[in-house]
């Protein structure tokens, strides 16, 4: 799996990370969504990968995803930063996943 970032996404992530070390996790959040197959993409900053996390290829930042959640995403993803809202939009080659994704710091 690979995730590409546009320059605005890189800047928003850098601003949120600051000087503290952290890893980025792409998550498929199913909490309060009805069932395990219905969920929404999310982004978090964590101190270390989860027990079942696998790396996601990225040239700038270390990204991780739970291997059981990876099935909900395409192999190639693009994360675009939205400068006016400070949020992100996640796209794949064949679909749009979500906009207004907030980067939540769980370090």
Q: How far apart are CA 46 and CA 49, in angstroms?
A: 7
Given this model, what pLDDT does residue 37 score? 62
DSSP letters along 44-66, please?
EEESS--TTEEEEB-SSS-EEEE
DSSP letters along 6-39, please?
-HHHHHHHHHHHTTS--EEEEEEE-TTSSSTT--
Considering the entire predicted model, what is its pTM? 0.90
Asked whether the predicted pLDDT for residue 13 surpasses 70, the reply is yes
Given this model, what pLDDT does residue 29 score? 78
Residues 27-79 pLDDT 10s: 997 665 555 566 789 999 999 999 999 999 999 999 999 999 999 999 999 99
Instruction: Give the mean model confidence (pLDDT) for residues 6-30.
Output: 94
């Amino acid at each position: 799996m690979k995730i590409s970032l546009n320059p605005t996404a890189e800047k928003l992530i850098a601003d949120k990370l600051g000087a503290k070390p952290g890893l980025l996790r792409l998550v498929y959040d199913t909490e309060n969504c009805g069932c395990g197959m219905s969920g929404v993409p999310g982004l978090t900053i964590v101190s270390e990968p989860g027990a079942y996390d696998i790396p996601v290829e990225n040239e700038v930042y270390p990204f991780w995803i739970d291997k059981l959640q990876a099935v909900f995403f395409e192999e190639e993803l693009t994360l675009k930063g939205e400068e006016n809202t400070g949020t992100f939009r996640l796209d794949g080659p064949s679909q749009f996943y979500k906009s207004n994704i907030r980067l939540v710091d769980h370090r």
